[in-house]
Amino acid sequence: MTLREAMSVLESMGTAQNRKVYQRHGSDENVFGVSFGNLRPLAKKIGTDHQLAEELWSTGNSDARTLAIQIADPNEFTAASADAWLADISYYLLSDLFAPLIARSRLAKGKLSKWTRSRKEFVRRCGYVLLSSLLKDHPEMVDDALCCKYLDTIEQQIHNSANYARHAMNMSVAAIGIYRPSLRNEALAAAKRIGKVEVDHGETGCRTPDAASYIRKAVSR
């Protein structure tokens, strides 16, 4: 599929209602409003096509970038190109999709260290979503010592971090408690010391949960 064909298909699938929803969640006006129910089959039809992914990303369109993440080859990213994509992101949905893609790449551990140290809101958010993704899907990449380090860092920095970064940091505490049973008590204790994490989710129904309650609920399932 060519870029022109892909953009034409995306535009045809967009709706005004979805555009409003995505913009409430932080997308800019360059968005068609394509549902994930339509994006996933389109991505499956295209398959892995990193060149097309790069072209889609360069359009700046939110739906095109969402599709780009779904068809990109994680092993085609260089350290510089991964940073360049992330530098374009100012929308939490894209950062939350991009992190699991990089979790599948050889860059994962290096980017985890770099991005979680960033003061930029969506870079730090992506770094901590990357941590949660590794804990869930690639646990061999993060040992207990590294998890303990992140618990300490989150406890020290979460309340002074940028808005959307705070949410991802809080969810990383939960991820450590859920996916690393050996550190569950440490994660619960850290969550208690951290206390309530205030995040402004704008005019949406999104909420930032209490990490300790989230851990207990997830584990009970």
Query: 150: pLDDT confidence band, cut at 50, 70 and 90?
Result: very high
* Domain shared by 15 and 118, yes or no: no
Domain range for 67 is 1-72
Q: Note whether residue 123 is domain-resident.
A: yes
Tell me what pLDDT residue 221 has: 85
Q: Using only C-alpha atoms, what is the Rg of the chain?
A: 18
The mean per-residue pLDDT over the stretch 70-93 comes to 97
DSSP 39-62: HHHHHHHH-S-HHHHHHHHHT--H
Structure tokens belonging to residue 6: 């892909």
* Domain shared by 30 and 130, yes or no: no
Number of domains in the chain: 2
Q: Note whether residue 173 is domain-resident.
A: yes
* Domain shared by 121 and 55, yes or no: no
Query: For residues 47 and 30, is the Cβ–Cβ distance under 8 A?
Result: no
Q: Note whether residue 215 is domain-resident.
A: yes
The mean per-residue pLDDT over the stretch 181-188 comes to 97
| Mean per-residue pLDDT of the chain | 96
Q: Note whether residue 14 is domain-resident.
A: yes
Tell me what pLDDT residue 119 has: 95
* Domain shared by 120 and 11, yes or no: no
Structure confidence by residue, pLDDT tens digits, 2-46 = 999 999 999 999 999 999 999 999 899 999 999 999 999 999 999
Structure confidence by residue, pLDDT tens digits, 128-149 = 999 999 999 999 999 999 999 9
Q: Note whether residue 7 is domain-resident.
A: yes
Structure tokens belonging to residue 96: 């939350």
* Domain shared by 127 and 202, yes or no: yes
Tell me what pLDDT residue 158 has: 98
